Amino acid sequence: MVIIENLHKKFGKNQVLSGVNLTINEGGIFAVLGPNGSGKTTLIKAVLGMVIPNKGNITVLGENIYKNSDYRHKIDYLPQIANFPSNLRVKELIKMIKDLRKPTNEDEQLIKLFRLEPFLDKKLGQLSGGTKQKVNLVLTFMFDSALVILDEPTTGLDPISLIRLKDLIKAEKAKGKTILITSHIMSFVEEVSDEIVFILEGKIYFKGTIQELKTKTQQPDFEHAIASILSDNHA
């Protein structure tokens, strides 16, 4: 599904990715974790073609991403911060994105799921951060792509919407999709992930299940296992 080989990326003198090798197999939920500045967002953006590496190869859905950009139409992406035009109405934005990509009626179900009906005629600039995030989720999940990338999807969500998001992610996984998630919310990651990838200082420190991480770090729970990695590397 996604193969990353010897990926290097520098911003000025700052080496953000240092020889990353990673294979994400088809089907399942993978959480990409790491402290701020570890390189996880750069890695995600490299997969999306939004960041051009200095060295290395990326293959997505069997295609080398440097040869064409067609593969991007097979990815649904939720950015960490969605910059919507503030004077556009919610229903206008949804229609615009549908017209740009392909016909779908999935948006109707998602609007109901996230209780967005009262906001369809409102301008995006009038919405709270949490409501914007729900619009963002509708735009991401209304297309049926094999690969879904979610950058901090829980931001601003109320508890009920968070439950609905978890159910939605699990339902998409049941369809055989591959879902990549970045998140700082450890309880969310623990509940939905099949595997985690932990990046530290531009390198893959760990890839495997949460249980395997707990065994490796000899910690009783996930949060302590993550804390153990960080304290060991900043001792």
> Which two tokens mark 89?
């109405």
| Whether the predicted pLDDT of 123 surpasses 70 | yes
How many other C-beta atoms are found inside a 10 Å radius of the C-beta of residue 5? 14
Give the model's confidence band at 83: pLDDT under 50 very low, under 70 low, under 90 confident, else very high.
Answer: confident
How many other C-beta atoms are found inside a 10 Å radius of the C-beta of residue 54? 12
Mean pLDDT of 55-84: 85
Give the pLDDT confidence score for residue 232 in this predicted structure: 75
- Tell me the domain boundaries of the chain: 2-233
Determine contact, residues 129/82, Cβ cutoff 8 Å: no
Greater pLDDT, 50 or 101: 50
Burial class (CB in 10 A: 0-12, 13-18, 19+), 42: buried
- DSSP classification of residue 123: B
Q: What is the pLDDT of residues 170-198, one digit of tens each?
A: 999 999 999 999 988 889 999 999 999 99
The CATH superfamily assigned to 2-233 is P-loop containing nucleotide triphosphate hydrolases (3.40.50.300)
Question: pTM of the prediction?
Answer: 0.91
Q: Coil, helix or strand for 207?
A: strand
Q: What is the pLDDT of residues 137-179, one digit of tens each?
A: 999 999 888 999 999 999 999 999 999 999 999 999 999 999 9
Greater pLDDT, 197 or 74: 197
> Which two tokens mark 56?
């290395």
* Strands across the sheet containing 195-200: 75-78, 147-151, 178-182, 28-33, 195-200, 203-208
